[in-house]
Amino acid sequence: MIFDLILLVYLAYKNSVRAKLKAQNATAWAFITAVAFLLTYFAGYIFVVVFFCRDVVKFDQLNGADYKTRQAVAQQLIQAFAANPLHLITVELFGLGGYLIIRYILDRMPDKKAPEVHWMDKMEQ
């Protein structure tokens, strides 16, 4: 969990620097990067649970389930993630994908224009 937070802060910082180079609001783009990272991170969790943990977790128990049954399913999910570290790596890669989407959007923006210098001004120097 700490690693995820450090990664999120670092990636948001990297995109804020990129936004400054493009003459954009760095704070806004850092926030957008954080939101994209978190959305894709949670989408990764959903993807892993639905497609990779289907055989381990009994989701049919959740229909009209009481608190104890939901706790049992939650424990099954925790055990499924602990047993296979590739599940967590897949979730991290989904989060990284959110950062890369925002980075791609920033890279497609035009660079900040350099101030134009007239040719006569260059001759005076």
State pTM to two decimals: 0.81
Q: What's the token pair of residue 87?
A: 């599940």
Nearest to 91 by CA among 120, 125, 48, 57: 48
Can you give the pLDDT at residue 102?
A: 96
Each domain of the chain, given as residue ranges in start order, spans: 2-109
- Residues in the chain predicted with pLDDT less than 70, given as ranges, are 119-125
Do 8 and 31 meet the contact criterion of CB atoms below 8 Å apart? no
Can you give the pLDDT at residue 30?
A: 96
